[in-house]
Every structure is written in structure tokens, then in C-alpha cells.
Structure 1
């Protein structure tokens, strides 16, 4: 019986193990800073630059001696960006899945960096979008932040996984899910 579950157990073992290791390393890394970590600073500055491209006059500034970077419009803070907003946790989930699922090494060596770039770009759009919601539709900020934009970035990750499984590895998810045999 265990033999038929071996591929699933292998996947879970690699996914959970790598996810825990990467999260522990990331947690250790961010604890090295008394202020915002470099990844959060980068995402905040790039989001502000993107907002400036579309005509919003913004700038960033650390929020005192905290781990927060604020995006300002004029003299007013519109949004605060924390460590959890930098997209690294989403990237860890993506990489852990890719390592656990496996596949052709040559393909995986270009697909993981491509996926990380796409996740980063989606996160910049998310942070910039949250700024716009906070600025122009403040009453919807909580729901958009908590549900809509969080879901959208994970949907993008699921689409990347789907491309990896169905298109690049030629494995039909429907066929696997409907099969009685492993």
C-alpha cells in the first residue's frame, strides 16, 4: 500500500521540508535587521517608481525605527509596506513546489527564475494597486488587500504551476485526477 503512495509522499516530504528550511532561513535573515529588510525596501521603492510612471507623485521613507517603509503622496502616508508584502513567502511556496514536483533540469533552470520574476512583477502591481485603492477607494482597502489581491497573486502562482505541469511536462492534471491507477 505504501508503494502506491510513494510519489505523493516524496512530493510532500520535499515540499514541506524545503518550505520549512527556506522559511527558517528567511526568518533568520529578516531578524538581522532592526529596520525594513532590503527586499521590502526594494519592493516599496520599485512600486513607488511604478506609481510615478503612471502619474502619481510618490516617494518612500522608512517609518521611524520600525520594519516598515511608507509610500507617501505629498506629506501624507498612503500605505505602509511590511516584510510580509515583499513577495518572498509566495516565492518560497513556488520554489518549494517546483523542487518537489521536479521535471527536466534544463527546463526547471529557466522556469524557476522566470516564475520568480513574474511573481515579483505581480507583487509590484499588487503593492501599487493597493496604493491606488488606499488613495482613491479607501473604504475598500481592507477587502482588496485581504482577499482580492492576495488571491490574485496566488492564482498567478497556480497558473505557473499549471503551465509547468500541463504544458512543459505534458502531464494532464485531469487525467491524473480521474485515474484509478497511480
Structure 2
């Protein structure tokens, strides 16, 4: 049995670090969400509110007249172009859960401290930025092509955010593998 642990120690370490860090970061994020419940200044929570406002600013940059208002029946921000209510930005749209997944993977393939921390920060900023672009393009896409709303929301836009994460992971594994080879 001990030989199996030694043989698969890298895999066991990867799984343990991934699950442990994912669990810890998810608990911290969930605590933040619980703490945010009921507050009204940054409805529904600070990060979702910020993502909503930044996505609106991006749409306005593209020349659209956009309005944002709190949803009265659920924890979300409603986004309008003109008088058309198009999308709701909910907590799941703020990219934090995707960033947690990304960070957990990078921690599982931890390289040198400075390199890993830099990559986690840079990757998180890229994911966050891609998410803002995704929300803006989704809203504009639904406004311009309402018949494709379901396709855009369910296929194209998850592909953008998860595709970004997968590409970041692939890049990291290639870089990490090279770092490990150079250290030997």
C-alpha cells in the first residue's frame, strides 16, 4: 500500500491541494456572500455590483445607452439598453467562482513562489476582464439578435469564460513543466 502512495504521490498531492484549496476558497467566498446578504449599498454584493457597473461602462463605451437597476424580486442587477430589459447580472456572473477554480488548479501545480503568485494574479485579472467583456457582448448580442439569446447565453458565452481558463491552465502546465525541467 505504501508503494502505491509513493508511486502516485504526485497525483495524490495534486488532488489533495486542488480539493483543499477549492474547499477553503469556496468557504471564504460563501462567507463573504452570507456577510453581504441584506446590505443595500452595493446590492446584491460588492463584487457583483462592481461587475455590473463595469460591464455597463463597457457597453456605453461601445455607444449603447445602458441603464442598470437593482432587481426587486431577486439578488441581481437588471441591465437595460434603452427601455429594453435584457439581462440579469447575478452572483454567478461575477467570475469569482471561476477564479477560485483557476487558483485551485494553479496551486496544485505550484512552481516558484513569485512565479505562481504572479500567474495567479495575472490570470485572475484576465478572467475577470474576459468576464466583463462576455457580459457586455452577451447583453449587446441579446439586444441586437434576440432570437439567439439562448444560444449566446448557454453556449457561446460559457465557452468564452471556460475557454479562457482552460487556455490559462494549459499554458501554466507547459510553463510549470519547463520550470521543473530547468530545476533538475
CA distance in 2, matches of 1:119, 1:72: 24
- Secondary structure of the residue aligned to 1:45 is helix
CA RMSD across the alignment:
1.7
Where structure 2 has 5 or more consecutive residues not aligned to the other structure, the ranges are: none
Alignment of 1:26-175 (within 5 A): 26-32=29-35, 33-34=37-38, 35-64=43-72, 66-167=74-175, 169-170=177-178
> Deviation per CA, 1:24-75, whole angstroms, max 9, x where unpaired?
2212211222341111111110000000001011021111263100111223
Alignment partner, residue 6 of structure 1: 9
| Deviation at residue 114 of structure 1 after TM alignment | 0.5
CA distance in 2, matches of 1:83, 1:72: 18
- Give me the TM-score of the superposition, normalised by structure 1: 0.88
- Secondary structure of the residue aligned to 1:59 is strand
Which runs of 4 or more aligned residues in structure 1 lie more than 4 Å from their structure 2 counterparts after TM superposition?
Answer: none
- Secondary structure of the residue aligned to 1:64 is coil
CA distance in 2, matches of 1:20, 1:145: 28
- Give me the TM-score of the superposition, normalised by structure 2: 0.87
CA distance in 2, matches of 1:49, 1:27: 27
Count residues in correspondence. 172
CA distance in 1, matches of 2:47, 2:177: 32
